[in-house]
Amino acid sequence: MPSTPFLSGLGIQFDKYEPDNVIVRLPFREDLTNDGIVYHGGVVASVVDTAGAAAAWSNHDFNKGMRASTVSMSIQYIGTAKKSDLLCVARAVKRGKELIFTEITATDAQDNPVAHAVQVYRIVP
């Protein structure tokens, strides 16, 4: 995932990658903000989506498929990360035959809430 052009351009880092439990970090970059201080909402959504997808992949049996995409994601913005790294904690809460349901919480470096999301991710043969 980190080697895909879009994600490598963002500079996303993985702090934790365990089965069904992932922590993704986006180091603060002024060029990803609206005003030099607060991340653009699309940046936050991209990192949240990536963290959820990583949680889906983290405990996946690769013999059961490698084609994947986000089916849906609902995100609520509840704060801002002001000149701060963005951290996303993601966990897979349910795995079906093809669909994986994830939950993601984004915070700033001081653990103040930034966003919360639920995601449905699909992996197929």
Q: Domain residues of the chain, as ranges?
A: 5-124
The strand order across the sheet containing 67-77 reads 13-18, 21-26, 86-95, 99-108, 113-124, 67-77
The answer to whether the predicted template modeling score (pTM) of the entire model surpasses 0.85 is yes
Going residue by residue through the chain (125 aa), what tens digit of pLDDT does each one get? 667 888 889 999 999 999 999 999 999 999 999 999 999 999 999 999 999 999 999 998 888 878 899 999 999 999 999 999 999 999 999 999 999 999 999 999 999 999 999 999 999 98
Backbone angles phi, psi at 52, to 5 degrees: -65, -45
Question: How do beta strands 99-108 and 21-26 pair?
Answer: unpaired
Q: What is the CA radius of gyration of the chain?
A: 14
d(CA 66, CA 52): 16
* CATH (one of 2.40.110.10, 3.40.50.970, 3.10.129.10, 3.40.50.10740) for 5-124: 3.10.129.10
- Alpha helical stretches, state H, the chain: 5-10, 41-57
d(CA 46, CA 115): 12
